[in-house]
Amino acid sequence: MIPARTWPLGRAGVHLVLILYTALCLGPVLLVVMNSFKSRAGIFGAPLSLPNAATFDLIGYKTVLGQGAFLRYFGNSLIVTAGSLAAVLLFGAMAAFALSEYRFRANRLLGLFLALGIMVPIRLGTVAILNMMVAARLVNTHLALILIYTAQGLPIAVFILGEFMQGVSKDLKDAGRIDGLSEYTIFFRLVLPLVRPAVATVAVFTMIPIWNDLWFPLIVAPGEATKTVTLGAQVFIGQFVTNWNAVLAALTLAVLPVLVLYLLFSRQLIRGITAGAVK
Amino acid sequence: MGSLALSAIRKSFGAVDVLKGVDLDVAAGEFVVFVGPSGCGKSTLLRIIAGLDEQSAGDVRIDGRLMNGVPPARRGIAMVFQSYALYPHLTVAKNMSLALSQEGVAAADIRRRVETASALLRLDALLDRRPAELSGGQRQRVAIGRAIVRQPSLFLFDEPLSNLDAALRVGTRIEIAKLHRQLGATMVYVTHDQVEAMTLADRIVVMHGGVVEQVGRPLELYARPANLFVAGFIGSPTMNFIGGDAAARASAATIGVRPEHLVVAREGAWTGAVSHAERLGADTMLYVDVPNVDVLGAGMLTTRILGDIDYDVGDRVGLTPQEGKVYRFDGGGNSIAA
Ligand SMILES: Nc1ncnc2c1ncn2[C@@H]1O[C@H](COP(=O)(O)OP(=O)(O)O)[C@@H](O)[C@H]1O
Ligand SMILES: [Mg+2]
């Protein structure tokens, strides 16, 4: 360890910036969570204060959970997110392995093509995607969303995992080949465990935009049976009256799974993010 | 068991020709060392023998069987890598037995073979550890153990000692030599270190720029190098090469004299001032500036004298090559027979 440089003013400055940034990020979330536990009068009377005996009210949660559909929305979100995540990680890791491990003619070109997907937002293709889904009779199915999100998540997953896989010792893979391991065993048993931090990182960065997405659920799966949480929460936002208690409670609940996943992955995540820096 | 035949092996990576036609026969039970400067294609050749890389042209035969296109696991070989390449998530015992369980060897048999190998390499106490809990030398022994349990007919080593410190390197070198005597298996060993090559090999293959410069027993290469490259590569300190008049008088383009074959006296064939002295106790290296002699390369003659001789920088000395110890080379760099 290099001893921390003593430059108190500079360090204080850095910390000030970090604290301000943290407050900026967490402020809105905190506001949502705080107000979800208040009565309507509490929310509008003193939006910035913590719930107290007078304003504490679980009416929002009662409304949300009382409305049976909400649990279904939650389930839909889970199915879509877990399905997409599994597909992105599996196919992303396999593509990354193939691109980094095997030399073949179209290797470079294929890598470039996949990298292109990072730069072009998938929403630009919404109309075409909707047409495709209609033609394939996939509108209002979980599969439609899973396919879209897999396409959306793959480019960056392949890119990041490919970088990490290039770092896995070539000799190790060759030792496996000499020991008679199949390419699949080498991939699953030797390489994947070694890039676990990168996989966790990709998992978190892939999952959050999928869970939070409003656009594609609204367009390709707005039906009652396939509605996701984020879309479902919108029913409480009316054109004339908005049930703020319910909206805030729904949003708070929607944060939970992401939080749980983050806690599960956080150790690996930090290792993944700092892997290049700490050697 | 374990003979190896290479014929006209070529390998190109894109436009770069790394191996330019290698022919070699290795008899069963032989210890052959590929030696050469780094980048000359030794590892590439070894990987082609192992089946990890495919040659661009030529044939590999092991035990007389054509191996082109045969996957590494079915060639009857085992390989030890410079970086050890142990499986980080498996214990020492599992590292050694993985290949056997892949082959479907019976559990009792696996246990017996792991025990034999670990006794041979003094690994018994380490069987339940993971590679991260081992020192460098222990890791390399595990890697060698992993090769042994497979009972291959051909062992391949790619610079197995390069990551070890000097003391450990000598110890492991002796261990590998013993292992070869005990197992009697064929071994092909790659190194850039000529001392390893000289001490381990039955036969040395000197490689340079993708071609085999010379094949021969260690002392044969020392005594009768085929060309300038082999002459300069084998032997330490490296041979003195002299051109100009001195060479012309011997009717050669270049002559070579090994440092240990130069006699130091007050007067000699070549005289000059000592510009640097290295005193190791057992022997002394003198670097002598000889202004009237056309020394190639460093411009100084190196000489090696047994014992601790008290010469100082600036002393004038005379150097004379021993009778019959002058190597002669023609304009193309090839040896001229004596
Ligand atoms: N996979 C590869 N792609 C391109 N060039 C390679 C590859 N492997 C080795 N080379 C080149 O081939 C030459 C010989 O390499 P190598 O056999 O590893 O040399 P050595 O083991 O003798 O040091 C080097 O110049 C190296 O850059
Ligand atoms: Mg090498």
Kindly determine whether residue B83 and residue A181, on different chains, have CB atoms separated by under 8 Å: no
Buried b / exposed e over A214-251, threshold 16 CB at 10 Å, is: eebbebbbeeeebbbbbbbbbbbeeeeeebbbbbbbbb
Residue nearest to atom 2 of ligand 1 (CA): B13
pLDDT of residue A5: 56
Q: Is B48 in the pocket of ligand 1 (CB under 6 A)?
A: no
Domain ranges of chain B: 4-229, 237-329
Question: B102, B142, B144, B162: best mutation site toward chain A, by most A Cβ within 10 Å?
Answer: B102
Cβ of B14 under 8 Å from any chain A Cβ? no
* Share of residues in chain A with pLDDT > 90 (%): 41
pLDDT at residue A271 tops 70: no
pLDDT of residue B310: 81
pLDDT at residue A101 tops 60: yes
pLDDT of residue A12: 87
Nearest chain A Cα distance for residue B50, angstroms: 8
Q: Which residues in chain A touch residue B81, judged by CB atoms under 8 angstroms apart?
A: 171, 174-175
User: Regarding predicted confidence, which is higher, A139 or A47?
Assistant: A139
Element (H, E) at A92: helix A69-101
In this structure, are residues A187 and B81 in contact, taking their beta carbons and an 8 Å threshold?
no
What are A38-83's pLDDT values in tens digits? Answer: 888 888 888 888 888 788 888 888 888 887 788 888 899 999 999 9
CA dist A166 and A98 (Å) reads: 11
- Choose among B250, B153, A220: nearest CA to B241: B250
The domain in which residue A146 lies consists of 64-277
pLDDT of residue A254: 84
pLDDT of residue A9: 77
In this structure, are residues A137 and A220 in contact, taking their beta carbons and an 8 Å threshold?
no
Q: Is B207 in the pocket of ligand 1 (CB under 6 A)?
A: no
Cβ of B140 under 8 Å from any chain A Cβ? no
Residue nearest to atom 26 of ligand 1 (CA): B39
- Choose among B99, B72, B77: nearest CA to B186: B77
Q: Across all residues in chain A, what is the average pLDDT?
A: 86
pLDDT of residue A1: 47
pLDDT of residue B321: 94
Residue A261: pLDDT band by 50, 70, 90 thresholds? confident
Phi, psi of A81 (to 5 degrees): -70, -45
> Is-cis flag, bond preceding B237, omega within 30?
yes
A275 burial level (CB within 10 Å; 0-12, 13-18, 19+): middle
CA dist B18 and A278 (Å) reads: 36
What are A228-237's pLDDT values in tens digits? Answer: 988 888 877 7
Q: What is the three-class DSSP state of B123? A: coil
Q: Is B205 in the pocket of ligand 1 (CB under 6 A)?
A: no
Kindly determine whether residue A178 and residue B72, on different chains, have CB atoms separated by under 8 Å: yes
What are A3-37's pLDDT values in tens digits? Answer: 555 667 788 889 999 999 999 988 988 888 888 88
What tokens does B258 get? 């090994």
The CATH architecture that domain B4-229 belongs to is: 3-Layer(aba) Sandwich (3.40)
Task: Examine residue A39 and state whether it is found in any structural domain, yes or no.
Answer: no
Task: Examine residue A23 and state whether it is found in any structural domain, yes or no.
Answer: no
Task: Examine residue A12 and state whether it is found in any structural domain, yes or no.
Answer: no
Q: Cα A91–A97–A102 angle (5° rounding)?
A: 130
pLDDT of residue A274: 60
Q: Is B44 in the pocket of ligand 1 (CB under 6 A)?
A: yes
Element (H, E) at B20: strand B16-26
Kindly determine whether residue B83 and residue A169, on different chains, have CB atoms separated by under 8 Å: yes
pLDDT at residue A276 tops 50: no
Low-confidence ranges of chain B (pLDDT < 70): 338
Q: Which of B52, B74, B85 sits opposite A169 (nearest CB)?
A: B85
pLDDT at residue A279 tops 70: no
Kindly determine whether residue B50 and residue A178, on different chains, have CB atoms separated by under 8 Å: yes
User: Which amino acid would we find at residue A24?
Assistant: L
B244 burial level (CB within 10 Å; 0-12, 13-18, 19+): middle
Q: Which residues in chain B touch residue A178, judged by CB atoms under 8 angstroms apart?
A: 50, 52, 72-73, 77-79, 99
Residue nearest to atom 18 of ligand 1 (CA): B43
CA dist A187 and A138 (Å) reads: 33
* Closest B-chain CA to A186: B87
User: Regarding predicted confidence, which is higher, A279 or B69?
Assistant: B69
User: Regarding predicted confidence, which is higher, A239 or A173?
Assistant: A173
pLDDT of residue A115: 84
Looking from the CA of B87 toward its CB, the CA atoms found within 13 Å total 29
pLDDT of residue B177: 94
Domain count, chain A: 1
pLDDT of residue A259: 83
Residue A277: pLDDT band by 50, 70, 90 thresholds? very low
What are A166-206's pLDDT values in tens digits? Answer: 999 999 999 999 999 999 999 998 999 888 888 988 988 89
- CATH number (domain holding residue A109): 1.10.3720.10
Residue A155: pLDDT band by 50, 70, 90 thresholds? very high
CATH class of B237-329: mainly beta
What tokens does A179 get? 């020991």
Section A130-143 average pLDDT: 94
Kindly determine whether residue B87 and residue A174, on different chains, have CB atoms separated by under 8 Å: no
User: Regarding predicted confidence, which is higher, A160 or A277?
Assistant: A160
